[in-house]
Amino acid sequence: MEKKVRLYEIAQGGARNIEVVDKKIALVVFGIDPQAKRVIFTVNPNITEYQETPKKQSLGYEATNDTRRGNLTPSDPPFCINVEGTKYAIALDSVGTTEAPLRQGYCDFLIRRDD
């Protein structure tokens, strides 16, 4: 299984910075630097609080044994995690910015499950 996922930077509302893949991997993007092509994210946090308004979003979480912090650029090797005996490789495919008037950073992840 391989899936491409587009996520956006936090604080823009709409929960577009959170994605669940294969019912085992939850990705939460916290920061995107389009100039450096770098993304800061967390894999599999236990989300304890979520609030959203049309202009902002806040998220509270606690770490579990499956929680990992990631910091990737497109040229980095994939970020690997084992969840319930299944290995996942998470690679950053691209980083960019949407067009005006509301410029928003986004990133495309490639998530591969090794069966």
CATH of the domain at 84: 2.60.98
Write out pLDDT tens, residues 42-89. Answer: 888 777 777 777 767 677 788 888 888 999 999 999 989 988 888 999
Give how many domains the chain has, as a whole number.
1
Rounded CA separation 74/94 (Å): 6
- pLDDT score at 32: 92
Over residues 13-20, mean pLDDT = 76
Which domain, by its residues, includes 38? 2-114
Write the DSSP string, 32-87: EETTTTEEEEEES-EEEEEEE-SS-EEEEEE--TT-EEEEE-TTSPPEEEEETTEE
Label residue 93 left, alpha or beta by phi (over 0 means left) and psi (-120 to 50 means alpha).
alpha
Query: With bands split at pLDDT 50, 70 and 90, how would you rate the model's confidence at 41?
Result: very high
- Is the whole model's pTM more than 0.85, yes or no? no
